[in-house]
Amino acid sequence: MFARGRTRRTLVAWVAIALVIGIGIGVLIGGGFRPSSPAGSGSTAPSNEPVQLEYTDMPCDPGSSVLVLHSLEGAMQAKDVKVLLDYETMWVKHRESANPALRGQTALLTRRDDVCDAIVPEDTRFTQFVWIGPFPSDVAPALCEALLKVTWGNCIPAQVVR
């Protein structure tokens, strides 16, 4: 009986050692024990500076359309808007091979006052718009499909002049 208990304790000890070594290796690989870098060493630390959004006037040329991807409420934080812009730009670049008209496009942000009159919604909660374009109006609906978005759902091919 004593030998059995001793064997069991030895087995538990070996399992515990293997577990500690495995966790240690996982933490090292994941960077948990990485020393903090001294200032000026070239690494970028998260800054507490507020995110600055860049706004663009929407072009309102007859015969053209923009793809409105998001209508945003004013309560949305700037950092969240920036993430949305970066995501949509990344998605457009990822899908540009599906339609040549998407090449070189980036997601842009426009304030309500700088949106074409034909696009301004009646609902005043929407104060910012994420869009790409402009495109010829006859091409715009096909671009929603190329972006794998639902036309008139999460991709509105809006003519800028009616």
The residues that bridge with 159 in the sheet, in sequence order, are 65
SS3 152: coil
Is 142 inside any structural domain?
Answer: yes
- What's the domain count of the chain? 2
CB 66 within 8 A of CB 119: yes
> Do residues 76 and 128 both lie within one domain?
yes
d(CA 76, CA 6): 63
pLDDT in tens, 96-133: 999 999 999 999 999 999 999 888 888 888 999 999 99
94 pLDDT higher than 70: yes
For the chain, helix, strand, coil in percent to 5 are 40, 20, 40
pLDDT in tens, 15-72: 767 766 766 666 656 655 555 555 555 555 556 778 899 999 999 999 899 999 999 9
List the domain range (segments joined by +) for residue 27. Answer: 1-34
Q: Is residue 45 situated within a structural domain?
A: no
Domain assignment of residue 40, yes or no: no
Q: Is 28 inside any structural domain?
A: yes
Model pLDDT, residue 14: 73
Contact status, residue 158 vs residue 65, Cβ threshold 8 Å: yes
Is 4 a residue whose pLDDT tops 70?
A: no
The verdict on 28 and 96 lying in the same domain is: no
